[in-house]
Amino acid sequence: MPRIAFLFPGQGSQSVGMGKYLYEMSPDLAAYFDTADRVLEYKLSWLCFEGPEEELKRTENTQPALYLVSAATLHALREAGIIPYAVAGHSLGEYTALHAASVFDFETGLLTVRERGVAFAAAGAERPGAMAAIIGLPGEKVAGICGEVSTESEVAVCANYNEPSQTVISGDPAAVERAREACTAAGAKRALPLPVSGAFHSPLVASAADRLSAFFENVEFHAPRIKFVNNVSAQAIDDPEVIRLALLDQVTFSVRWVECVQRLVELGVEAFVEVGSGKVLSGLAKRIAPNIPTYTTESAESLQKTIEALRPAN
């Protein structure tokens, strides 16, 4: 079996109907959804399966929903004998990656991402922000433009370095709009506003980090049992306290996804599997590391194809 990295998606990968095929696949997988409903004391499973979309898109619902679907998919892959050599997650997905690495159990992670979603939603309400995707400019160019258009009272920063020519910016609405205009003038192919309620991965949501820090005081972190590459440093880290601090930094720091994927390749990864809803990360991986095969699990068909391709020979 090749050395496999599991990649766990973040906010934006959700869709109504996600995870329903898992629930219907086996009692073990259905138990994840039933447990989530019990622990959170509301029908998160129903939101995943039936929506409505507007309710699923609310940050406090989206984050635990994506975590739930990815965790159930992880179990399905493990049951088929597909075990990761390394893991990484994009923003919210980092929490599922940590669950996959046994840093905390399913229920602990579920409660933690629920708190994270509530914290992000509250921070966005306290200080409304904006985000935009810049396509067709190098990340360092976008970062320079953000610095040029920012002022003491209005900031724009790079939130996600998703691929070499796709960077998401975040910050005060006026500064983000100035950055969009400047990026377009500098030759960006597209500069698209994103439908979000807050300026994630920017200084505007610092209050979310404060709230999470208090919550983390009651969360026990263990050393990962497999290689874990984190967003903030794009390095493999294994000290529980360093992981705790990295998750807090992640709230306001950039997601260095290009470097995360490159680091996984340097660690010897030979295949990528996107675990959960959507195909965003597999698409990014193809552009960052085109020589590494990628697999998805967003449907019963794609999961089965992935299992057939990667299941170890008996």
SS3 labels along 175-193: HHHHHHHHHHHCCCCEEEE
CA 67 to chain centre: 9
Is 91 an active-site residue? yes
Please identify which of the residues 45, 91, 202, 282 carries the catalytic annotation: 91
Is 201 an active-site residue? yes
Q: Quote the DSSP letter at residue 275.
A: -
Which residues fall within 8 angstroms of residue 144, CB to CB, at 6 or more apart?
Answer: none
Please identify which of the residues 201, 202, 254, 277 carries the catalytic annotation: 201
Supply φ then ψ for residue 295, to 5 degrees.
Answer: -135, 155
Give the span between the Cα atoms of 289 and 302, in whole angstroms.
21
**Buried residues in 252-261 as b, exposed as e (16+ CB within 10 A):** bbbbbbbbbb
Residues tagged active-site: 91, 201
